[in-house]
Every structure is written in structure tokens, then in C-alpha cells.
Structure 1
Amino acid sequence: MGPLHPFCLQFEAFHAGGLAPGWSLLVQGHSDSGEDQFEINFLSETGDIVFHIKPRFSSATMVANAFQGGRWGQEEASSVFPLVLGEPFEMEVSSDAEHFHVHAQEHKVLQFAHRHRPLAAITRVQVLSDHRLAQVELARKGLCWGAGGY
């Protein structure tokens, strides 16, 4: 059984050349829903979720995983959780050659080792959310694909 997405796709970007070390994704919004209905997915050209990050407000944890070959891998969690339900938030996901790095409210929350190589195979980014998003920006080495004003 594949991953379930019970909430809205609010942002999606495609990049045929794939991602490379040095890019970042910035998401700003307002966590006005009482639900854990927010996630960021980085997908490969084959449709695998190479990196999945989800804040769980109900347990004050940030979880990360990968969905490859039809199944979820070992979930990783961080108890560093600077997000507050009902308040504005900012999350940034970036990558170097070895890891994804997640920051929330300017605090380092999680480091997740790449489970899929090459990084250039990541061609799509999705933000799914029932929260109000103000800005989503994907930038790489001086280039920017973004959307704002949701």
C-alpha cells in the first residue's frame, strides 16, 4: 500500500535536471489546523519519495522517512520541535552531498542521510498541507522557483 495524502497539494515544482547539493526549500505559513496535516516530499523520477518530512504537532516531534520500492523505510524522529500550533512557522530543507538538513524557526531540527542516489534523480518537490501557506520557495545556486501569496 502506498503513502496516503488526505490533505491538499499546495505546492509542486518539477526540475528535469534534478536537485544538487546547495539547493534549499523554504516554506512559510500559519499552523491554524488542529491536525498533523502538513508534509514535504521530495520525489524521484520513478515516483519514490526520496525524502519525507512531517511535523507532528500532536506529539511535538518532527519525523522523516523515505518511501522506496513500495514501502516505507525506518522512520527517524527528532524531539526538537520549535513549531507552535496556531502560530506562524518557517521551515527550511536543504541538502549537501550526504544529508538533508531541516531547520524550523531557525533551529536545526533534523539531519537525514540520503537513502537514494544520485541526488539528481530528485525531480519533484511537493508541499501538502491544510495549513495556510504564505510562501514556498525552492532555490538552487542563484536560481529560484517559487510561489507566494496563498
Structure 2
Amino acid sequence: MGDCKGGLIARRTIIIKGYIPPTAKSFVINFKVGSSGDVALHINPRVTEGAVVRNSFLNGSWGSEERKVPYNPFGPGQFFDLSVRCGADRFKVYANGQHLFDFSHSLSAFQRVDLVEIHGDVTLSYFQI
């Protein structure tokens, strides 16, 4: 878990590098507002399904799931290099240098995001806010 001091601002990039163990099922990366528990961006690579699920969790309920990606960089036994750039109206996410998806802000006050939470079947090698 990492503190994002001063919150997320437009043009800020978070870099996450890691390894997915061969027996991995899934893991989660949450861009979260610590005080409310709201999640501006929930990234859930489901290794066994071959899916990369995105969503937001606001005021106690989940939004609509997005699953479509041009490719899936999260395979068992794979290393990944994820770059999450916060834009004024959306998150832009790149994996291994290639655009993976955009996720429109459903939390308009994305500047309130002050935590990045990572848990599940993943080994982190590098994390930079």
C-alpha cells in the first residue's frame, strides 16, 4: 500500500512493476480515497479468466464493469510494467509500454485519491508514486 501525498493530480503517473506467480488466480490495484473508502479506479487482473476488470466503487456501490482490452499482459509466470497516468478526465493505463485502456473518472474529485492498495497473487518489484 502506498500513500499518495497531496492526492492524485492531472499528469501524475504511478508506476507499478511486478511478477505474477505461475499459480496466480487474481490480484487487485485500487486507487482509493482513504477517508471514505471510495475507489476511483479498481484494476483486477483475473489471471485464470484471462480478463482485466476495471471498475469504481463510490458511495458504497460498484459502478459498471469494463473488461475489454486489446491484449492481456497479466499471464501466469509473467513480469509486467504498469504505468497509470491520471488525466483531467480519465486514467490512461499502459502495460509494458503499450496502451492498455482508458478509464473515465467517475469520481469527479479524483484529487482526493490518497492511497494505492495492491493485494492478491502478485509480487511487486517496483512501485513509484
Q: TM-score, normalised by structure 2?
A: 0.88
Provide the aligned C-alpha RMSD in A: 1.5
Match of 2:44 in 1: 54
Which residue of 118, 121, 126 corresponds with 1:130? 121
Which residue of 59, 67, 82 corresponds with 1:69? 59
CA contact (8 A) 2:21 2:122 kept: yes
Identical amino acids, percent of aligned pairs: 28
Match of 1:112 in 2: 103
Structure ranking higher in strand proportion: 1
Deviation for aligned residue 1:33: 4.5
In structure 2, runs of 5+ residues without a counterpart are: none
1:90-148 per-position Cα deviation (integer Å, ceiling 9, x unaligned): 1111111011111112221111100011221112111113321111111xxxxxxxxxx
Match of 2:82 in 1: 91
Deviation for aligned residue 1:87: 2.0
Q: Does residue 28 of structure 1 match 2:17?
A: yes
d(CA) in 1 for partners of 2:80 and 2:18?
A: 5
In structure 1, runs of 5+ residues without a counterpart are: 1-10, 139-150
Match for 1:55: what amino acid? P
Match for 2:119: what amino acid? L
Deviation for aligned residue 1:36: 2.9
d(CA) in 1 for partners of 2:25 and 2:41?
A: 18
Q: TM-score, normalised by structure 1?
A: 0.77
CA contact (8 A) 1:82 1:107 kept: no
Deviation for aligned residue 1:57: 1.5
Match for 1:37: what amino acid? S
Match of 2:93 in 1: 102
d(CA) in 1 for partners of 2:94 and 2:4?
A: 23
Q: Does residue 18 of structure 1 match 2:2?
A: no
Match for 1:42: what amino acid? F
Between the two structures, name the one with larger relative contact order (CA 8 Å, sep ≥ 6): 2
Match for 1:91: what amino acid? L
Cα separation, partners in 2 of 1:104 and 1:86, compared to 1, 3 Å: same
Cα separation, partners in 2 of 1:102 and 1:73, compared to 1, 3 Å: same
Large movers: runs of 4+ above 4 Å: none
Q: How many residues align?
A: 127
